[in-house]
Amino acid sequence: MLLFSAFSDTAEYLYREVAPFIKERFGLDTAMITGTTDGRTTVKLKRADMNTILTLFSPRSKDKELLMPNDPAEIDVLIATDCISEGQNLQDCDYCVNYDIHWNPVRIIQRFGRIDRIGSRNAKIQLVNFWPNVDLDKYLSLKGRVETRMKAGVLAAAGDDNVIDPEEQGDLEYRRLQLERLQNEVVDIEEMQSGVSIMDLGLNEFRLDLLEYVKNNGEFDKVPFGLHAVVKGGDDAPRGTIFILKNRDADIDTLNQNQLHPFYMVYVRDGSAVYIDHLQPKKMLDLLRQLCKGKADPDHELCKLFNAETSDGKDMGEYSGLLSSAINSIIEVKEESDIDSLFRSGGTTIGTAKIKGLDDFELICMLAVM
């Protein structure tokens, strides 16, 4: 079980009260990680640092058999603050609890994302929120937060009457509505990510991968567009193709839902059905990481199969059809978003610059999944 609290004092309280009980009653070990104190655990360790604790808590995803092959200890319950709410693979765990609700719903998504990940071997996972027994508005103190920011703006003002950006207040209201949905509905987390910056969802692990790759292989400046690779798929990755595209017009569509604009990633299954669309970049990056990381050498058997299907790259008609399907899916979602904008405050996106078709994009690279 992974239990999150927004406050280190609360985490320490929970560890103090829960760890001895769980050890005595069930014989299970507990650990605590916060950003302000050293890690603590009921397991006897020489060092209770974060990496050691996380490896003992999620041994398969953290490769414990390679890092700590002679240590049989495991941690069953982890109490933590948001210092581990992003950039960690903890999918051995199947039960995640928010002991308190962060006012920003992105934090809730980040926390659940530690265990709701590609590569989990659990048939089911459970995600639990402890909601306050007071009105949500009182809990968030939305009005007070806005007024405090306005006063701070007045104190630091440089002659500008607009002491608080109206969009900031709208963002707070948007977050309140998201939290109400989480409280009152069974919501697909993916549905809530529209309007939330992808940078909020935690790309640290991908940045680290990129920095390591550049360190070992150099920069990408001279790498041509249009390269492809072939990988073996699986249950989470059916036969198809992942396209990485770049919009030629960097100014188009910047206020809409694709948070990686001008880049677009679309996974199209054989038969032209879209498997993962461009509005799920975090999910796509997770999958790409799983399929490609650590694979520096080509799979010769798959390459032979790809070459046979394409006549050594001379007949790419099938992949051209999949690429058209990928771009059409982007256009369709854009048109749906334009129509939805008619029913939202803040104006409509209809009549603004539009994505028209294939000519709007460059193919950065593609990954054939076989």
238 and 356 part of one domain: yes
Cα→Cα distances 13→17, 18, 52, 150, Å: 6, 8, 22, 35
pTM score:
0.48
Residues 6+ apart with CB under 8 A from 48: 31, 38, 39, 40, 41
Residues 6+ apart with CB under 8 A from 334: 253, 256, 354, 355
260 within some domain: yes
Percent residues over pLDDT 90 in the chain:
23
194 and 302 part of one domain: no
Q: Of 85, 114, 129, which residue is a domain's last?
A: 129
Calculate mean pLDDT across residues 268-273.
87
50 and 108 part of one domain: yes
At residue 167, the pLDDT reads: 46
122 and 152 part of one domain: no
Least confident window among 153-162, 201-210, 235-244 = 153-162
The pair of structure tokens assigned to 266 is: 């679309």
Q: Of 182, 199, 216, which residue is a domain's last?
A: 199
Per the structure, the count of domains in the chain is 3
Which 3 state secondary structure label does DSSP give 96? strand
Calculate mean pLDDT across residues 255-261.
63
152 and 106 part of one domain: no
140 and 188 part of one domain: yes
- Look up the CATH number of the domain holding residue 59: 3.40.50.300
What span, in angstroms and rounded, lies between the C-alpha atoms of 133 and 367?
A: 49
263 within some domain: yes
Check whether 201 has a pLDDT greater than 50: no
Least confident window among 10-19, 124-133, 243-252, 262-271 = 243-252
What span, in angstroms and rounded, lies between the C-alpha atoms of 367 and 143?
A: 48
At residue 186, the pLDDT reads: 60
Rg of the Cα trace of the chain?
A: 24
At residue 335, the pLDDT reads: 52
350 within some domain: yes
Instruction: Match 């709410």 to its residue by tokens.
Output: 85
Q: What is the pLDDT of residues 296-335, one digit of tens each?
A: 888 999 999 999 998 988 888 888 888 888 888 887 765 5
166 within some domain: yes
Check whether 362 has a pLDDT greater than 60: yes
Q: Of 110, 129, 148, which residue is a domain's last?
A: 129
Check whether 341 has a pLDDT greater than 50: no
DSSP states along 314-361? T--HHHHHHHHHHHHHHHHHHHHHHHHHTTSTT---TTS----SGGGE
228 and 359 part of one domain: yes
Percent residues over pLDDT 70 in the chain:
72
Q: What is the pLDDT of residues 37-89, one digit of tens each?
A: 778 999 988 888 888 899 999 999 888 888 888 888 899 999 999 888 877 88
At residue 166, the pLDDT reads: 47
49 and 97 part of one domain: yes
Quickly state the pLDDT bin for 240 (edges 50, 70, 90). Answer: very high
Check whether 194 has a pLDDT greater than 60: no
Domain assignment of residue 243, given as a range: 224-369
59 and 110 part of one domain: yes
What span, in angstroms and rounded, lies between the C-alpha atoms of 144 and 139?
A: 11
At residue 157, the pLDDT reads: 53
DSSP states along 207-272? HHHHHHHHHHH--STTPPTTEEEEE--BTTB-SEEEEEEEES-TTTTTTSS-TTTTEEEEEEETTS
Q: What is the pLDDT of residues 203-219, one digit of tens each?
A: 556 777 777 778 888 88
210 within some domain: no
96 and 157 part of one domain: no
At residue 250, the pLDDT reads: 60
Check whether 7 has a pLDDT greater than 90: no
Residue scoring higher pLDDT (102 or 334)? 102
Q: How many CB atoms lie within 10 A of CB 147?
A: 12
Least confident window among 100-104, 113-117, 347-351 = 347-351
Check whether 232 has a pLDDT greater than 50: yes
164 and 236 part of one domain: no
At residue 234, the pLDDT reads: 85
211 within some domain: no
102 and 183 part of one domain: no
113 within some domain: yes
Q: What is the pLDDT of residues 114-149, one digit of tens each?
A: 898 888 889 999 988 888 776 666 666 655 555 555
Which 3 state secondary structure label does DSSP give 40? strand
Burial of residue 243 (number of CB atoms within 10 Å: 0-12, 13-18, 19+)? buried
252 within some domain: yes
